[in-house]
Amino acid sequence: MTEAVTIEGLRMPGDAIIGGAAVAVADRFDNVTPRDGSVIGRVALCGAADVDRAVASARAAFEDGRWRDTSYADKKAVLFRIADLLEANLDELATLESLDMGKPVADARAFDIPASVKTFRYYAEALDKLYGEVGPHHPGRISWVQHEPLGVIGCIVPWNFPLNMAAWKVAPALAMGNSVVLKPAEQSPLTAIRLGELALEAGLPAGVINVIPGTGEVTGQALAKHMDVDMIAFTGSGPVGGLLMRYAGESNLKRVSLELGGKSPQIVFADCPDMEAAAQAAAWAIFFNQGEVCTAGSRLLVQNSIKAQFLERVVEVAKAIVPGDPLDPATRFGAMVSEEQMNNVLRRIERARADGATLLLGGERVRAESGGFYITPTIFDGVDPASALATEEVFGPVLGAIGFDTPEEAFRLANSTIYGLAAGVWTADVNLAHRAARAIRSGLVWINGWDACDITMPFGGFRQSGFGRDRSMHALEKYADLKAVTISFTGAA
Ligand code: NAP
Ligand code: MG
């Protein structure tokens, strides 16, 4: 794709979707594009009363069975149609995503939207593959275990992969027969609203999907404290994850699943089978999506015998990653999502310098004349393993390198944060790879590759990276309860 992307004629969605229709709620907020800091539209800010309406419509749809009780075949057909409509509108959705949160439109086209399409197709295919169980044989009775939908699922998602994170939750929740109320991040509401519109166009009955843009404090909180929501499926930060557990405790003990942050290590051993591939991966693991990735490989742990030469190559790769206009199809590194996030990352860079780390590359704001929020890819060496840069999530394009001598030291460093989301290991030694996979406490371990998996594999964290899994058949179980049914036979022994 080489032609320039234009936003002329592009409709900016701004309404909530409640009860099967677009609803212009009383309050609105400015939607700012980080590309140039301009306001691109006014979006519904759903208040508590709007959240009530959305939850009530989801509840009514669930209780009368208009979706839950439709056949597998009909459910499949609708989810496949949603996927087809997302695909048919790929260019529009990619442009909206790029404009809304600053990612390169090329990435939105190649990754975000296709991954969302695949997610809906996967769960369309999967929804009649989840079997229950038959209990142990008993002469006087028969027992079985069946999955049942939970009811109303509140999905609260972040701004880094807005449509894809929504798809990871909405598709399996719908596949299990639930109704959903989706709250996008206030920085990135556009594709979530389009998802709601397209799902209705695809034939999902009214009320089964509701989309309520707004702020976390108002809209998200009202949803998470709602007495008639059965579960909150969340991706976002640890502190908000903690609030959601509290809200659940203070309201109706709704279930909560949390996909939170990370400080993922990339461990490169001296016997790495492909140094060039590892150097490319090391750079892109942290610079893809401007480093705004929960699994970002933000800690580079390199065996000391190869550290200097390896880092030199990573810096060379990173030098070629230049911030540019997200809507330029040639751009591979875009804008930070907001001014606030840019300043947050710049403060963490300052802190790393003050803590004595050595700046090898970047560390500054660029393209300020555009009005947008851009930071260069940034690499530090000599990072103190106890410092903030080595232990706290930056959620931006900042890589910190740390040397190690032995595998034990590497594993200890890898496990030395509160997180446990993802880890990469580069080695030619299958025994060492196996040891690493066992030693590292994280939900995902990638050997000799980074993020080399897809919708078929569960995604989520250990420890303070959260609990509950997106993707794979396990996500279906997350949106279901188990019911044990027993029939007793009269006259039997
Ligand atoms: P965030 O501040 O936690 O926000 C996430 C969502 O929660 C947004 O929709 C937000 O709404 C909402 N929210 C905020 N306060 C709330 C409250 N009091 N009650 C209910 N909802 C509330 O996170 P973020 O800054 O958008 O995203 C970055 C974080 O997400 C990082 O920590 C990153 O690692 C994590 N993340 C994790 C994964 C994963 O799968 N593990 C994937 C992507 C991102 P508003 O934005 O409208 O305030
Ligand atoms: Mg925006």
**Cα 177 from Cα 405, distance rounded (Å):** 52
* Residue ranges of the chain that CATH labels 3.40.605.10: 16-260+466-482
Q: Is 475 in the pocket of ligand 1 (CB under 6 A)?
A: no
Q: Is 420 in the pocket of ligand 1 (CB under 6 A)?
A: no
Q: Whose CA is nearest to atom 13 of ligand 1?
A: 216
Residue 424 backbone zone (phi > 0: left; psi -120 to 50: alpha; other: beta)? beta
Q: Is 160 in the pocket of ligand 1 (CB under 6 A)?
A: yes
- The three state secondary structure string of 86-145 is HHHCHHHHHHHHHHHHCCCHHHHHHHHHHHHHHHHHHHHHHCCCCCCEECCCECCEEEEE
Ligand nearest to the CA of 213: 1
Copy the structure tokens of residue 188.
């990135």
CB atoms < 10 A from the CB of 258, how many?
A: 23
- In this prediction, residue 6 carries a pLDDT of 76
Q: Is 444 in the pocket of ligand 1 (CB under 6 A)?
A: no
Q: Is 186 in the pocket of ligand 1 (CB under 6 A)?
A: yes
Q: Is the dihedral of CA 326, 93, 73, 53 positive or negative?
A: positive
Q: Is 94 in the pocket of ligand 1 (CB under 6 A)?
A: no
Q: Is 220 in the pocket of ligand 1 (CB under 6 A)?
A: yes
Ligand nearest to the CA of 184: 1
Ligand nearest to the CA of 234: 1
pTM over 0.95: yes
Annotated catalytic, 294?
A: yes
Q: List 487's β-bridge partners, or say none.
A: 142
Annotated catalytic, 259?
A: yes
> The tokens 């149609």 sit on which residue?
81
Q: Are 121 and 80 in contact (CB under 8 A)?
A: yes
Q: List 439's β-bridge partners, or say none.
A: none
Q: Which atom of ligand 1 is nearest to the CA of 215?
A: 47
> The tokens 């897809």 sit on which residue?
454
* Residue ranges of the chain that CATH labels 3.40.309.10: 265-455
- In this prediction, residue 1 carries a pLDDT of 40
Q: Which run of H or E residues covers position 301? A: strand 299-303
**Cα 34 from Cα 30, distance rounded (Å):** 12
Probe ligand 1: pick from 237, 337, 417, max atoms within 8 Å of CB? 237
Architecture (CATH level 2) of domain 16-260+466-482: 3-Layer(aba) Sandwich (3.40)
Burial 90-108 (b: 16+ CB within 10 A, else e): beebbbbbbbbbbbbbbbb
Nearest to 265 by CA among 451, 436, 415: 415
| Beta strand ranges found along 118-270 (DSSP E) | 133-134, 141-149, 152-156, 179-183, 209-211, 231-235, 255-259, 265-268
How many alpha carbons fall within 13 Å on the CB side of residue 171? Answer: 35
**Cα 57 from Cα 79, distance rounded (Å):** 20
- Cα-flanking dihedrals φ and ψ of residue 242, to 5°? -65, -40
- In this prediction, residue 8 carries a pLDDT of 84
- In this prediction, residue 5 carries a pLDDT of 75
28-to-210, 337, 472 alpha-carbon distances in Å: 17, 20, 37
**Cα 59 from Cα 364, distance rounded (Å):** 49
Q: Whose CA is nearest to atom 19 of ligand 1?
A: 221
- Cα-flanking dihedrals φ and ψ of residue 323, to 5°? -60, 135
**Cα 232 from Cα 243, distance rounded (Å):** 12
- Which DSSP state fits 289? G
Nearest to 99 by CA among 6, 184, 194: 6
Question: Can you list the residues of the chain whose pLDDT is less than 50?
Answer: 1-2
**Cα 156 from Cα 238, distance rounded (Å):** 13
269-to-125, 308, 379, 385, 446 alpha-carbon distances in Å: 40, 13, 19, 18, 14
Instruction: List, for residues 189-198, the tens digit of each pLDDT value.
Output: 999 999 999 9
**Cα 360 from Cα 400, distance rounded (Å):** 10
| Beta strand ranges found along 337-417 (DSSP E) | 358-361, 365-366, 374-375, 378-381, 398-404
- Which DSSP state fits 159? S
Q: Catalytic one among 46, 155, 272, 294?
A: 294
* Surface-to-core class of residue 249, CB atoms within 10 Å of its CB (0-12 exposed, 13-18 middle, 19+ buried): exposed
Distance from residue 70's CA to the centre of ligand 1 (Å): 33
Q: Which atom of ligand 1 is nearest to the CA of 185?
A: 9
CATH 2.40.100.20 for domain 265-455, yes or no, is no
**Cα 210 from Cα 55, distance rounded (Å):** 8
Copy the structure tokens of residue 229.
């929501």
**Cα 320 from Cα 363, distance rounded (Å):** 15
Q: List 30's β-bridge partners, or say none.
A: 42
- In this prediction, residue 4 carries a pLDDT of 58
